[in-house]
């Protein structure tokens, strides 16, 4: 995964390019949360939410490791982990914040019912910060 400083300027372009695929994945997995990896070429790599829940997602470390290995073979560079909030906003939950603390080098994208937002953990300030983006709209469902 890229570090935040490298990702922030690119995320807006990537999210706009991947918007249709991100919202399609959110809608396809409804009512459960969708989860996947966003690549530097705006490719969306869906993963399976093993929790099968509308309130949280879970993916084993083994599945993530295998997915990243497959992406490397395909010469795709992961830049963010995404998941959906199918019936709520693109704001991180307490569980999301805990995950961001565990993976501080990663950028996180949330596809909410109100739009798409990118988030990261700021070690220095010890809290989650929203990556500054112009508004990224959600495709109508």
- Residue range of the domain that includes 37: 4-130
Per-residue pLDDT at 5 exceeds 90: no
Residue 20 Cα distances to 8, 15, 99, angstroms? 20, 9, 25
What CATH number does the domain containing 78 carry?
A: 3.40.140.10
Residue 77 is assigned to a structural domain of this protein:
yes
Query: The tokens 């939410």 sit on which residue?
Result: 49
Cis peptide before 31, with omega less than 30 degrees from 0?
yes
**Residue-wise pLDDT tens digits, 64-118:** 999 999 999 999 999 899 999 999 999 999 999 888 888 877 889 999 999 898 8
What pTM did the predictor assign? 0.84
> Hey, is 23 helix, strand or coil?
helix
**Residue-wise pLDDT tens digits, 23-61:** 999 999 999 999 999 998 999 999 999 999 999 999 998
How many structural domains does the chain have? 1
The candidate with the shortest Cα–Cα distance to 42, out of 16, 67, 69, 24, is 16
The separation between the first and the last C-alpha atoms of the chain, rounded to the nearest angstrom, is: 30
Residue 135 is assigned to a structural domain of this protein:
no
**Neighbour count for residue 45 (Cβ, 10 Å):** 18
């Amino acid at each position: 995964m890229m570090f935040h400083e490298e990702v922030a300027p690119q995320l807006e372009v990537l999210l706009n390019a991947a918007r249709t695929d991100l919202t399609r994945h959110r809608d396809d997995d409804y009512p459960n949360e969708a989860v996947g990896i966003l690549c530097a070429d705006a490719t969306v790599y869906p993963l399976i939410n093993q929790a099968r829940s509308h309130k949280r997602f879970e993916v084993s470390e083994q599945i993530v490791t295998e997915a990243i290995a497959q992406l490397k073979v395909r010469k795709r560079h992961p830049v963010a982990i995404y998941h959906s909030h199918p019936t709520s906003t693109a704001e991180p939950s307490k569980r999301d914040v805990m995950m961001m603390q565990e993976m501080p080098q990663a950028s996180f994208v949330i596809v909410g019912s109100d739009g798409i937002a990118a988030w990261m953990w700021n070690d220095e300030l010890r809290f989650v910060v929203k990556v500054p983006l112009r508004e990224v709209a959600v495709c109508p469902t």
